[in-house]
C-alpha cells in the first residue's frame, strides 16, 4: 500500500519540482533581461511584480521535493546517539508534528485564497489575477503535507530487512 502511494505521490512531487525549476529559470531570465536593459537605459514596468509572482511557485513547489528527498534542514545531534529504532520513531513523530504546523499554514492559505479571490485581487500595473498564485500555495502545501505523512508512515513501517522502520532513502531507491 505504501509503495503504491509512494509511486503516485512521487510522480506529483517530480512534476512539482520540474515546475519549480522552470519558474526559477523564468525568474532568472526576467532578472537578466531587466538588468541588461536597465544598463542601456530601458526599464520595463511591472518586472518587480512579475518577479514576486514567480517566487511563489519557485519556493512553494520546491518544498515538497525537499521533503521527498530528505534535503530539508534537520538536527541529528540527539537522534544519532539513540538506537536506530527509537531514532526512526522520533523522526516519524517529528514529521507528523511538522504536518500539524503545515496544516495551520494550509488552513490559513485556504481562507486567504478564498477571501482575496472573492475580492478579485490583481497585481498593480499589470492586472494579473493573484488568486491562482494563492491557490498554488495551497496546493503545494497540501502536497508537502502528503509527503510528510508518507515519510512518517515509512519511518514507522518495518524495514525490508526486518530490523525496524525504513528510511526515506531506502524507499527512494
In tens, the pLDDT along 151-162 reads 999 988 876 655
> Between 73 and 7, where is the model more confident?
7
Q: Which of 51, 48, 49, 69 is nearest to 59 (CA)?
A: 51
CA distance 149 to 160: 19
92 by DSSP, 3-state: which? helix
CA atoms of 133 and 136, how far apart (whole Å): 5
165: pLDDT strictly greater than 80: no
pLDDT per residue as tens digits for the range 16-38: 999 999 999 999 999 999 999 99
pLDDT at position 160 is: 65
- CA 104, distance to chain mean position in Å, is 15
User: Looking at residue 171, what is its pLDDT?
Assistant: 46
d(CA 118, CA 100): 27
Q: What percent of the chain has pLDDT over 70?
A: 89
Amino acid at each position: 500500500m505504501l509503495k503504491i502511494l509512494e509511486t503516485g505521490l512521487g510522480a506529483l512531487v517530480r512534476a512539482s519540482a520540474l515546475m519549480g525549476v522552470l519558474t526559477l529559470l523564468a525568474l532568472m531570465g526576467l532578472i537578466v533581461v531587466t538588468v541588461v536593459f536597465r544598463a542601456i537605459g530601458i526599464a520595463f514596468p511591472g518586472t518587480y511584480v512579475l518577479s514576486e509572482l514567480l517566487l511563489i511557485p519557485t519556493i512553494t513547489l520546491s518544498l515538497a521535493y525537499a521533503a521527498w528527498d530528505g534535503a530539508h534542514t534537520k538536527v541529528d545531534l540527539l537522534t544519532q546517539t539513540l538506537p536506530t529504532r527509537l531514532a526512526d520513531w522520533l523522526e516519524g513523530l517529528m514529521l507528523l508534528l511538522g504536518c500539524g504546523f503545515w496544516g495551520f499554514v494550509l488552513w490559513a492559505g485556504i481562507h486567504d485564497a478564498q477571501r482575496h479571490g472573492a475580492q478579485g485581487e490583481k497585481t498593480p500595473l499589470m492586472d494579473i489575477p493573484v488568486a491562482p498564485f494563492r491557490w498554488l500555495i495551497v496546493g503545494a502545501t497540501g502536497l508537502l503535507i502528503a509527503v510528510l505523512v508518507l515519510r512518517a508512515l515509512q519511518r514507522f513501517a518495518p524495514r525490508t530487512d526486518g530490523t525496524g522502520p525504513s528510511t526515506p532513502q531506502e524507499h527512494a531507491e
